[in-house]
Amino acid sequence: MTVLSTFTLQTRSRNEWSNITAQVQRIVASSGVNEGICVVFTPHTTAAITINENADPDVPGDMLIALNAVSPDRADFRHAEGNSAAHAKTSLVGPSITIIVSGGALLLGTWQGVWFTEFDGPRARSVHVRVLGE
């Protein structure tokens, strides 16, 4: 069995992390898949998907500090849109993740959540969720 679902996320800032764990889990639960995998993908070149801690509200801000240190905005970037740092951050984080589905639920660690990461907002963004299994 395979199920594809898409939802839209409206970001509010140039850089932000949005916890999308609940939306993804609802899609998995409604898919009818008990055992399998879930792929979460965003089709944007300046946004990404990752798994990270969802218990401490300071983690997303700290991650943005770290990513900005690795890929700061620079005057010598040549890309005409002025968002080269966002493209670099997206390549570092990646556009998708794969999560095991077990017992009809995402098999995440105690402190883990699924995060949509925005690097060139605010914008309306799409997230595709594919659930495969039995």
Q: Indicate which CATH number applies to the domain containing 27.
A: 2.60.120.460
Question: What confidence score (pLDDT) does residue 35 get?
Answer: 98
Supply the Cα-derived Rg of the chain in whole angstroms.
Answer: 16
Of 10-14, 47-51, 77-81, 107-111, the least confident: 77-81
DSSP 42-70: ---TTEEEEEEE-S-THHHHHHHHHHHHH
Question: What confidence score (pLDDT) does residue 122 get?
Answer: 98
| Tokens read off for 100 | 């095991």
Q: Which domain holds residue 67?
A: 2-73+82-133
Nearest-angstrom CA–CA distance, 134 and 128: 20
Structural domain total, the chain: 1
Q: What is the mean pLDDT of residues 58-83?
A: 88
Per-residue pLDDT of 91-121, as tens digits, reads: 999 999 999 999 999 999 999 999 999 999 9
